[in-house]
Homo-oligomer: A and B are copies of this chain.
Amino acid sequence: MDELQTPSLAELHALIEMTNTLNMEIFYWWCTALMILIHAGFLSYEIGASRLKNALAAGVKNILAFALIIPVVYLVGWAIYNAFPDGLVPRMDALIASMPWSESMGPNIQDNATGIFWGAFALFAATTGSIFSGAIIERARVSAFLVLTLLLGGVLWLLAAAWGWHPEGWLTVKWGYHDVGAAGVVHMVAGFFALAVVINLGPRIGRFNPDGSVNPIAGHSMPMSVVGLMLIIVGFFGFLGGCIIYNGGAQWINIYGQPTTLSAFSFNTLMGFAGGVVGAYLVSREPFWMMSGGLVGIISVAPGLDLYHPGLAYLIALGVGCLAPMVNQLLLRLRIDDAVGAFAVHGFAGFAGLLISGIFLSGYPNMEGMADISFTGQLVGAIVMASLGFIPGYLLSYLLKQVGMLRVPAQAEERGLDLTEVPAQAYPEWAAMHGQAPVSRFENSHSTASIAMENKLA
Contacts and interface: CB of A to CB of B under 8 A. Distances in A.
A17 B260 CA distance: 17
A411 interface: no
Given A326-B457, A444-B216, A458-B214, A16 B12 contact: yes
Contact of A441 (B122, B218, B228, B267): B218
**Copy total for this chain:** 3
A283 B119 contact: no
B308 A107 contact: yes
A7 to B, nearest CB: 6
A223 B40 contact: no
Interface string A266-300: 11111101110110011111111111001000000
Given A116-B263, A266-B115, A13 B3 contact: yes
A51 B429 contact: yes
Interface stretch (A52-60, A348-356, A387-395): A52-60
B277 A107 contact: no
A70 B275 CA distance: 9
The 9 closest A-B pairs by CB, nearest first: A115-B263, A33-B237, A107-B264, A67-B277, A119-B266, A70-B274, A40-B230, A115-B267, A286-B442
Given A32-B237, A112-B251, 6 more contacts: A23-B26, A63-B226, A71-B271, A107-B306, A222-B425, A284-B445
20 contacts: A18-B249, A33-B238, A40-B234, A63-B290, A70-B270, A112-B261, A112-B262, A112-B263, A115-B267, A115-B310, A216-B438, A283-B453, A284-B442, A285-B422, A285-B442, A285-B445, A286-B422, A286-B424, A329-B443, A332-B457
